[in-house]
Structure 1
Amino acid sequence: MLAGVVMIMLILMIFIPTMVLYVQNESRWSVKYHQNTTAFQLAEAGIDRGYRKISESTTTWANGQAGIFPSGYGFNASYGDLYGGCYAISITSGPDEEQVTILAIGKEKKEKEVRAIQAVYDNSTVGDTAIRGQSGVTISGSNTQVHWGAIVSPKSVAMNGRTFPQVWSAGSIDLDANGSTPPNCDSPNCLQWHSYDPNIPADPGIDTSAFLNAAISSGTFYSGNRCWGKNSGTACGVSCDTICSDSTSCATGRTYYVEGALCVEGKIFVQGTLFVAGNVTLPNGLAGAATRNAVLPQKAWQQYGSSWTAYTDANWDPTEPVSFPGLTSSYSSPEGTTVSLDKVMVDGFFYVGGNLTQSGGAGQTKIIGAAYVAGNVTVTPNNFFVYYSESAGSYIKPTNIILSRQSWKDLPGRAWPSTLTCP
């Protein structure tokens, strides 16, 4: 009996100190975890604040690309607007063009825990959008195709059975058989279309005055309604100018601004921006005068989740996967891959302030870049093509900054700036 009591006492003498130590450590661990979490949340708040600051205006963004950032965003100020501690922010340009890197460090109020986060944002003015039709889009014709970028509209979109590219609409899409009733994307994995979606890619806004001023200063402003091309003018109903009617005279990167409507009866080519304040009519499809090497976007393959053979049969991508890799795949086609395209009408940015109507035989006319149409887009003939190009973003003069996050990472061990204290 006595031996049993002694044994119990020995066991308690061993375990009670261990349990006390564990409880003490657990308390410290809990405090440390809370402090660490607080520091992390403060760092996240710094990232958010930096994002809001750099995207507040096109001027702020442009200054940032030149290395000029607002005061307080170079680890030269600390912010104590949140409970539990403070944070500091650094914004730098890069690593690539039209990108910024935001680094935020959070510090818990008792100054025992520090966390740092880095995020890289890209100014995605176009956002992989080949056609944006603000009043709706209708694509028909047996061989009318949109490649490498999406179709986006806040209104209805009619695809007439097409299985590419991706389509985003805040209204109806004719591919959606059940209307506004969910689900409002294609089965099984929402690879192609999204209808009645309030979160369609944001409108960058177009600074029409900036385009007008650019054209006036370069002598490429054209007043009134116009007909361009070398034909007789019977299709447009008026005689046509020979402006931009070859593959070289308007290959300047400038803005070509038409004050009224534009009817294109013969072949033309603009490298840069073709800005038409009114309607654009392509009555016979004889519109493209140039042969160009278009750069295949490295993520163009994402547009073909519902029709992978449309991508592979074109033989654009020398390293294309055998099957569609999935929208979250890290796969990218080789950088700088080019595709030769003939009969190109525009290589750059195509803005239409009214409606864009292609009604005659298209004659394989091609647009490389991005098209923004304030009115309706109606493309009904055969053999008309639009190829999205990332380079279109360099020609757009937006009124809004639209940033997309390219990367995010925790930076363990990053110290709090020695020159700063929490307010």
Structure 2
Amino acid sequence: MRKKERGQVLAGVIVVLVLLLIIVPAMVTWVQQDSRQAVKDQKTTVAFNLAEAGIDRGMWKLKSATSTWVAARDGIVITGYNFDSTYDDVPGGTYRIRFSTGPASDQVTITAEGRDSQAKETRAIQVVYENQSLPGPILASGSLTYSGAFETHWGPVLAQNNIVVSGNAETEHFPRKYSKQVVSGGAGANARDTNGLNPPNTDNMEWWSDYPVPDLPQLDFVTLRASATANGTLNYYNGTISSHTYTGYPAGTHYCRIAGTSANHPAPHNQHFADSNHHPKSKDNLIWYWDGDLYLTGGSNLSGHSIGIKGTLIVRGNFTIETEDNYGPVVTVPQNAWEEYARIGVSSYDTATLNQYPADDGYQRVRAIFDLGNESWTGGPPSAFTDVGLSGFVYVGGNLTIVANAMSDYHGVIWVVGNIVNNNVGERSLVFYDGTLGKDLPVLNVILTRESWKEVAPSTAAWL
């Protein structure tokens, strides 16, 4: 090899060595930094998971007893849930929990902080829960066929099993529908979940399959029955004859007639509650309780001698509606009622246009009140036909049957354990949700609904 060529090779070797001297330390530094970042990320993830474990523990504590929920809601300190204890049952570190009341009435905020085992990373999560025994206007402990029986407003439909949308409801894309299993039904542009429990499980507007539907309330039937006994509303029947001036009623003749006619209802009448609209206690917001079956009867349509009750109705047997409605209260509209109408029809959505649905006040806005029996909405019935027969919580341990020509609507919540049959052809029963009912309902369990979730900055309070 010539000297000149050897010199060129040597120069190349020197250049390579210089480059290596520059690159190798940089690579070592980068690897070290990346490793440190990976360890930091791992610790951060561990801390976050610990905070989530704290939220879960706090939620189950709130659900453990109604007295626990009441104490937390009222701002009473609960030992172990005021950052006064640390928990180490989850590998990787510790966590602590604090309960605080609010921000709204009947709400509790859980703040949970997680810290990795080397105490170098801390993450905090804050969740607001509300105790809402009746989270929707229609509740089903099993499967639910949502068809032409009802048209539901202001609150979601929930089922512990499948929801099947059929009939007139196929072309309506309100309200929201939540199922622990599958929301199905409809075809083409009106189709709901078509792939079962496989993702995607929602259209993010109307239906949610495989959803953690809240538990149903465990009603305190003993307390409910005792209240009815004290108020004189236990097993109340008055339809012993077809036309009568009932004891305690205002002067006048009151009726027990066949729905939609002027013909007297045939005997027997021993399970009839006739002309509830004129019962002296019908608007007192009391608890009414029946151990067996109940038939609500009254006069012919537009007579004014039919159904009109504000209160809680507990029917342990079958419940039959055999007359129209006569009650027109001014009611409070849930503040978040607009959430039910993100999609209204197959190609119609919530817009700035007013009155697309009851109490609609523009895009994602609702009015505070609605006058039942004196107001309607675009595509709704005449104003006079928006009155209701029952305003409150209705529990039916058996079947609910609405006979032909018994044109009745409802305000509140309906929970039917058995089947629902509406024999009115072309006439649907409106149900307007009242989300406040569950707050005073005697129940044996706590039903938590999550109102908000967010990550927050950790507290400066010292760890114990």
Flag the 1:383–1:160 CA change in 2: closer, same or farther, 3 A: closer
The answer to whether the aligner puts 1:407 opposite 2:447 as a matched pair is: no
1:121 to 129, 136, 148: 129
Larger proportion of strand: 1
The residue number in structure 1 matching 2:255 is: 231
* 8 A contact 1:136–1:155 mirrored in 2: yes
TM value normalised by structure 2: 0.73
| Gap regions ≥5 residues in structure 2 | 1-6, 240-245, 258-263, 299-305, 374-386
Within a 5 Å distance, the mapping from 1:129-278 to structure 2 comes to 129-132=137-140, 140=148, 145-153=151-159, 154=161, 159-162=166-169, 163-164=171-172, 165=174, 166-167=176-177, 175=185, 183-184=195-196, 189=203, 202-217=215-230, 219-223=231-235, 227=239, 230-232=254-256, 234-235=264-265, 237=267, 238=269, 244-246=276-278, 249-266=281-298, 267-278=306-317
1:106 to 114, 139, 143: 114
- Greater Cα radius of gyration, structure 1 or 2: 2
Deviations 1:302-341 (A, max 9, x none): 2573527698544631213xxxxxxxxxxx424x532211
The residue number in structure 2 matching 1:281 is: 320
Give the letter for the 2:327 counterpart: A
Flag the 1:75–1:176 CA change in 2: closer, same or farther, 3 A: same
The residue number in structure 1 matching 2:41 is: 33
Flag the 1:290–1:161 CA change in 2: closer, same or farther, 3 A: closer
More contact order relative to length (CA 8 Å, sep ≥ 6): 1
1:341 to 340, 348, 372: 372
Flag the 1:199–1:41 CA change in 2: closer, same or farther, 3 A: closer
Give the letter for the 1:40 counterpart: F
The answer to whether the aligner puts 1:352 opposite 2:352 as a matched pair is: no
The residue number in structure 1 matching 2:384 is: none
* 8 A contact 1:293–1:339 mirrored in 2: yes
* 8 A contact 1:126–1:204 mirrored in 2: yes
* 8 A contact 1:135–1:374 mirrored in 2: no
Flag the 1:50–1:21 CA change in 2: closer, same or farther, 3 A: same
- Secondary structure at 1:251's aligned position in 2? coil
- Secondary structure at 2:135's aligned position in 1? coil
* 8 A contact 1:39–1:113 mirrored in 2: yes
Flag the 1:32–1:301 CA change in 2: closer, same or farther, 3 A: closer
The residue number in structure 1 matching 2:429 is: 384
Flag the 1:296–1:224 CA change in 2: closer, same or farther, 3 A: closer
Using the alignment, how far apart are the partners of 2:332 and 2:266 within structure 1? 30
* 8 A contact 2:217–2:444 mirrored in 1: yes
* 8 A contact 1:224–1:260 mirrored in 2: no
What's the C-alpha RMSD, in Å, of the aligned pairs? Answer: 3.8
Note the C-alpha offset of 1:104. Answer: 0.9
Using the alignment, how far apart are the partners of 2:357 and 2:124 within structure 1? 45
The residue number in structure 2 matching 1:17 is: 25
How many aligned residue pairs are there?
400
TM value normalised by structure 1: 0.79
Deviations 1:158-203 (A, max 9, x none): 742323345566799894679xx953599994865679x7965532
Give the letter for the 2:222 counterpart: S
Note the C-alpha offset of 1:76. Answer: 0.4
* 8 A contact 1:254–1:273 mirrored in 2: yes
Using the alignment, how far apart are the partners of 1:150 and 1:418 within structure 2? 43
